[in-house]
Amino acid sequence: MRVAVLGGGSFGTVIANIVAGKGIPVTLWMRNSELAAQINDQHLNAQYLPDVQLADSLIATTDLQQAVSGADLVFVAIPSSAFRAVVRSVKSHLTPNQFVVSTTKGVEADSFSLMSEILAEELPGLNVGVISGPNLAKEIVRKQLTATVVASASEDLRAAVQSVLHTEYFRIYASSDTYGVELGGTLKNIYAIAAGLSAAMGMGENTRSMLMTRGLAEMSRFAVSMGANPLTFLGLAGVGDLIVTCMSPLSRNYRVGYALGSGKSLAQAVDELGEVAEGVNTLRIVQAKAEQLGIYMPLVQGLHKVVFDGAPVSEVARSMMLSEQSTDVEFVLPREVQS
């Protein structure tokens, strides 16, 4: 088994490091030649994972063809804004027997395509999948216990990812609901911004609990309208990812929300982060899609007003608290089925 990882950010580097640590040949592709040299010479990625010693066998390159040549499994860890362009650049170097897996939690703005849909469009005939879950890169690289979900229609792909990534500290569960798993990882970023914003403003744990549970309801409502299974959101890729993203200062989207709640502008918050926070773009795109489809998402609508329109948080919160009080749990089994 040989593995390629496209994208030298924090999560791409972590995935490559896990594979290298298991003694499996892996090549990490990145655009930045200086970072690639740093990984090869010093076994460090100081920009994204400072002070973390990477596996000696991890090889970095700026040559796409070199990265994927001979790889059985290719992970794509590219921000959503550049995802399709990179896939198009690499497609001529791929063969039908290779598995391609996205790790990106985002959505393409113009088409509202998830990353698995982009892979399917650009790489017809190849088996594709996604991995998503409560996976903070800085914790995984320090070998703290966690788990994720690999989703694909291909059982062989799911088994290959489980074999390559499973370790004593990283457990890989399987799912066939690719769309649901991917939507969970994409939508939760929105509510992480809200959680960070509320924390910066001194709101309590009751507030955060409400945001998370109502956020989960909105995520499920939106996902069902898009054809996903709502039960997927009860697993790691749904509520599991939502919890960690809304509670940890290590979450990039939480940090953007915290900066906004501290009085900084959106531009300042994003610049200060120094990495891509997918939730900012996802918020804009999902709000427009929900409005287009008539999906009731008051948290998304309110947060959009705060982030992009500069609306006062207090006024938005007040209007949300006075809005329609829908049912607590929307997707439940009938009593006769439960018994």
Which residue among 105, 138, 143, 188 is the active-site one?
A: 188
Buried (b) or exposed (e) across 16-29, using 16+ Cβ within 10 A? bbbbbbbebbbbbb
pLDDT at position 311 is: 84
Supply 333's token pair.
Answer: 């089994």
- Where the chain has pLDDT below 50, the residues are 337-339
Supply 102's token pair.
Answer: 């996205």
pLDDT at position 279 is: 85
Q: Is 188 a catalytic residue?
A: yes
Give the chain's domains with CATH numbers.
Answer: 3-176 (3.40.50.720), 179-321 (1.10.1040.10)
pTM of the model: 0.87
The Cα 231–Cα 168 span in angstroms is 27
**Per-residue pLDDT tens digits for 135-181:** 999 999 999 999 999 999 999 999 999 999 999 999 999 999 999 99
